[in-house]
Amino acid sequence: MPADRILELRPTAVNRILSEVRKLQAQGVELVSLLRGEPDFRTPPHIVQAAKQALDQGRTSYPDNRGEKKLREAVAWKLERDNGLRYDPATEILITSGATFGLWAALAAILNPGDEVLLPEPIYDAYYSPIALAGGCVRSVAGRIVNGRFSIEVEHLQRACSPRTRALVLNTPWNPTGTVLTSQELAALGEFVCKNGLMLISDEIYEALLYGQARHVSPAALSPQLRRHTIVVNSLSKTYAMTGWRAGYCAAERQWIDAMFLVLQQASRGPATFVQDAAVAALTGPQDCVAEMRAEYARRREIVQKALEAVNGVRLLVPEGGFFALVDIGGLGLPSELVQRRLMQEFGVVVVPGSFYGPAGEGTLRVSFAAGGTVLEEGLQRLTKGLIRMYGERA
């Protein structure tokens, strides 16, 4: 029998749905997927070239487990350039295998058994299990749709906060809601964090994907006090279409990075050395590839908007950032999991039910526009057809 702690873990929403997708596909059902946060772009050539060159130079031995010096310096430079943050590359930056490992190391470094973590919902579902694995408990705080976007109320956080609460996890731009928290909102949340002596784990993995007037603000940049209370978690996965490279990084005050470094040494020991060289090329090289991808996602977002605004009974929460659109399907009067299943089985399109991101996500569907072209077109056709049918079936 596997250990008891395994009972606390759950497969990620995407993996849960993928196992059903594979079953249906094995039966010959043809599906279009608007499921994953997986960019359909290839990694820009200059980054691939840097990895090839590193391999040719024999950069295949163990990396510096803290992260190669050049990459830590590149991250420090990037944080100053893009986020107005200053961290010492020698002591305040850790290179991780994706944001996934960074999140785990941060939680493992912060939590004692029974400590609580505040999670504003609906939220990226893969935060739940590492909190459990680190011995912590989730305190969910329901977000609310105000003026067509999900927001977090400090009052609700305060009510959920107990003497056992140690941390708040924020993700801005926020998966799955598409909200980009403003500096005003972040200042209020930051004040709450500092006042209650919490740590803020700030997952900024979608920072480069912004639309319209939205601007990314890194909370640690708001005040020296909040910087002391923040662990920045980020990765190259989404910004540079590098999901498979597993290149991420964290920044925080030394005591946290030292603790997280200890965690890292027991597990991954960091991304491959040649991957780290490629990450240097990504962060310090030309950034037009990022702007080009952002422009394409903006175009896709408009396609999603056009397709869904024509459908009665549903409302699109127009994303301010990221590449997910949350569709409010409250008008259908059906549970989101049922709608998702019917969309998949009867209409051949795969999305995620909002309930997989916590109860506050009930009544919504998450639609990914990380893939474009015919996948997006065909997927949206199937989605709208299914939603129109279900709206028409109301008693």
- Which range, of 66-74, 83-91, 98-106, 186-194, touches ligand PLP by CB under 6 A? 98-106
Which residues, in sequence order, are CB contacts of 251 under 8 Å at separation 6+? Answer: 75, 76, 79, 85, 87, 92, 93, 94, 220, 231, 232, 234, 257
Comparing CB distances to ligand PLP, the nearer of 203 and 277 is 203
Of 54, 88, 39, nearest in space to 274 by CA: 54
The residue sitting closest to ligand PLP, measured at its beta carbon, is 98
Q: What separation in angstroms does the CA of 243 have from each of 87, 248, 250?
A: 25, 10, 17
Q: Does 248 bind ligand PLP (CB under 6 A)?
A: yes
Member of 98, 136, 143, 353 binding ligand PLP (CB under 6 A): 98
Specify the residue, 124 or 256, whose C-beta has the smaller distance to ligand PLP. 124
Q: Which of 116, 185, 203, 207 binds ligand PLP (CB under 6 A)?
A: 203
Residue 56 CB, shortest distance to ligand PLP, in Å, is 26
Structure tokens at 10: 């759950």
Closer to ligand PLP by Cβ: residue 99 or 387: 99
Contacts of 276 by beta carbon, 8 Å cutoff, 6+ apart: 63, 67, 68, 70, 71, 95, 247, 270
Rounded distance, CA 126 to CA 107, Å? 13
Give the DSSP letter of residue 334.
Answer: S
Q: Which is nearer to ligand PLP, 324 or 347 (CB)?
A: 324
| Interaction between residue 104 and ligand PLP (CB under 6 A) | no
CB of 299 to ligand PLP, least distance (A): 21
- Check binding of 37 to ligand PLP (CB under 6 A): yes
In the complex, what is the shortest distance from the CB of residue 54 to ligand PLP, in angstroms, rounded to a whole number?
Answer: 20
Tokens standing for residue 245: 């490279």
- Report how far residue 368's alpha carbon sits from residue 19's, in angstroms, rounded to the nearest whole number: 18
What is the rounded CA–CA span in Å between residue 188 and residue 156?
13
Site string for ligand PLP, 134-173 (x = CB under 6 A): -------------------------------------x--
**Binding residues for ligand PLP (CB under 6 A):** 37, 98-100, 124, 171, 175, 203, 205, 235, 237, 243, 248
